[in-house]
A and B are shown apart, each in its own frame.
Chain A
Amino acid sequence: MLMVSGVSKSFGGVKALRDASFAARPGEIHALAGENGAGKSTLIKVLCGVLRPDSGTVQTTGELATAFQELSLAPDLTVAENLFLHDPPRGRLGLVRRSVLAPRADELLRRFGVDYVDSRAVTADLSVAHRQIVELVRALATEPEILVLDEPTAALQESQVAWLAGHMRRLREQGCCVVFTSHRWREIEDLADRVTVFRNGSHVTTREKLGEAEAVTLMSGRSIDRTYPRLPPVPAGADRTLTVSGLRAGALREVSFDLHRGEVLGVGGLAGQGQADLFLALFGARRAAGGTIQLAGRPLRVRRPRDAIRAGIGIAYVPEDRKSEGLLLPMSVRDNLALGILDRLSSAGLVRRSAERAAVRSMVTQLGIVASRPMTQPVGTLSGGNQQKVLMGRWLLTDAEVLLLYDVTRGVDAATKHDFYQLIAQLAERGKAILLYSSETEEIAHLCHRVLVLREGRIAAELAGPVGDAEQIVAASMRERR
């Protein structure tokens, strides 16, 4: 069994866990639910001893195995080496018997029914889904008494989720205590015997039955009052801003569509169906293997982001991971905002300070960015929502007419989310053409004039919007699946 009582943990003044308690029994599957930053991941790290709590106790009885959300596999080792990292087969002198490593790994992968993963492949070359599977097999193979899985399904496809669910249930029957987190409520309802909700680092409730609406209320601490702005209709005969035909890139098999002036086009589907590749390819950050792109009627070739930014009416891409792909955290709000328009702000290579200050001020006001000293304050010191606004502001300053918004509300507080919804509607009204992806299908359901549902790198369905009901998009993404 597993018992955590009164655990607190802070990171540099930010309380990730406050007096948190949690218990799971043998022979149950126990889901941990909560918003981003509710403390789930921290709790899991405390559970398995990666983090030492500031106060409180953790009791476990029996062997514990964990599979982490940030994959803990060594990227440059082979799958086989990773599978036996902790206990490699050894010979008489204690040296690793390399010759039996791969065959044993093959046997293990076969036993778990995932022999489509090559045990000799270097881990970094695998897809995220396959890496997650290796991580899971490594945890499952120890036949633990306590199994802790942090977001195990985020990267998996439907069939792989079913595979994992089978193993979780099997372990439960054997009396194992299985704890997992998920952002997909359906999985929690399907799998969990009990659900514990966390909010702001504290335990809120543990229930056997919990409906989604109530769960959301408990997780957010407020009732669902998500109001979406009314989208201004796309004017009849609006210009085609972006025409994509037969685009292939990464997991994207072949995708064709038009995007019009003033239109918000949603890209839905289960995670990892090529959405990221679509956005990156349009922005020139992923090499297209085929197909053509036309921007305002003219053929566009993008070999790198710079080409997309400078092309004709301009393309902007707001990435999902603002910390590693978007912002330069130690640099000032000013530096981050102005980065995209330095060409315009400079004469003879020198940045014109007054023009820059004016541009920064206007964007800070327009987006309501809360920063005490925008000219010098490092953007990393702002709250998540304000950081995201800075990133958005950088691209708005470029006056790009095509906006590729990839999960811009991820990890952002409710108030800022609301601001972003308003902003998206306003931008559409001003005639911007917006391609929108969100990991929250509900946003796509409410904020888009049309929704393309991607499945296995192709457009599986096109829905007229606002769809209003996220279930419709989910249903369309799963229909006719083998």
Chain B
Amino acid sequence: MSIDTQASTQAETGKRRLDSLTPNTKLILYAYAATAAVLLAGALLHPGFAGWASLRAMLIVASFIGFVAAGQMLVVLIGGIDLSIPWVLNSAAIVFTTAGLGQSGRLPYAIALALCVGAAVGLLNGLGVAWLGVPAVVMTLGLNGIMQGLSLGLSGGLTCSSCASYAPEPLRRLVQGDTQLLLWAAVAVFVTVLLSLTRFGRHVYAVGNSPRAAYLAGVPVRSVTVTLYTLSGVFAALAGITLVAYGGQASLGLGDPYLFESIAAVVVGGVSILGGRGHYIGVVAGSVTLVAIVTLLQAKQVPEYGRDIIYGLVILAILFTYGRDREHD
């Protein structure tokens, strides 16, 4: 056998191996390739960009996107969407600060209360979508508006005038340290186990691929739907709590950037926006990619309007690459 044919056989084996990957695995690989490409570009353009200190900072910022994207991904997997994330996050943050008053003793109570707010709104979203048949876009957008109104009205524009500090000290230390990254890892493990190893996870993918077929196979489509929207609310609340701890305050409009970013992270992470396909492990990469792009643009002192344009273009470019491949499936 000549060297030439040997080489081509090897290349073919490699190609076959790539072909034999499930589409899911392929998209996860692409998501990480995209992250690597952005990081590499950053390292070339800006010395120190891919160093550990900078990487760690980016990971912490990405973790907040990671939290909201976890919830967003769960509902996207069944072909839904959660547009209520910004103000669920924000109202949870406000509830957390006003209930906690910055005192360590009240911390568990404040955290529980804030998570309950998220769960409650998520539950309403789920009930509206699953039982009343309200389209997810309408239902979640409506609740986003309601939560915005409630937050503004009840807080009177102020979150906690008597607080010395918004987040209790122990929590602040926690979030600013590596524990925040551990928390994100825990979320990643939770979501991955939930989706890949449990009966519930199978049900989720079944509903996402075909609600009708899942229903006829005995999958409790409605309760799956309600559970996922509830989880999305909880994750938004978790992001709200940790953001308060990280930034030290619960400002109004805190959650605004996270609607776009949650959806972008999910899609860049290789999750099909039509549902049924995708893994959280890809969404982790998606979240990091988004933060890396923004960080790089900031480091290069690109003016804000330019940042927004380039940010949008890069995301479109990434999705375009994914889309082209899918056509060949």
Contacts and interface: CB of A to CB of B under 8 A. Distances in A.
Interface of A: 283, 285, 304-306, 309-310, 317, 319, 324-332, 335, 338-340, 342-343, 345-346, 349-351, 376, 378, 394
A316 to B, nearest CB: 9
Closest 5 CB pairs of A and B: A328-B209, A309-B218, A342-B199, A346-B199, A306-B218
A329 B220 CA distance: 19
Contacts, number: 77
Interface string B185-228: 00000000000011110110110011011111111100000000
Contact of A319 (B22, B203, B209, B216): B216
B209 A338 contact: no
Given A349-B198, A349-B200, A326 B213 contact: yes
B145 interface: no
Given A306-B220, A338-B202, A339-B219, A328 B213 contact: yes
Contacts of A340: 217-218
Interface residues of B, number: 23
A328 B216 contact: no
Nearest to A339: B217
B23 interface: yes
Nearest to B21: A376
B210 to A, nearest CB: 6
Contacts of B23: 330, 378
B28 to A, nearest CB: 14
Given A305-B217, A327-B213, 18 more contacts: A283-B216, A285-B216, A325-B210, A325-B216, A326-B213, A328-B205, A328-B213, A330-B23, A330-B277, A331-B209, A332-B22, A335-B202, A339-B214, A339-B219, A346-B199, A349-B200, A351-B197, A378-B22
B216 A326 contact: yes
A73 to B, nearest CB: 21
Contacts of A319: 216
Nearest to A280: B216
Contact of A324 (B206, B213, B276, B277): B213
13 contacts: A285-B216, A325-B212, A328-B214, A329-B210, A330-B277, A331-B206, A332-B22, A335-B205, A338-B202, A339-B214, A342-B203, A350-B198, A351-B202
A87 B132 CA distance: 38
Given A305-B218, A310-B218, A317-B216, A328 B199 contact: no
A306 B213 CA distance: 12
Contacts of A350: 197-199
Given A285-B215, A317-B216, A339-B217, A328 B276 contact: yes
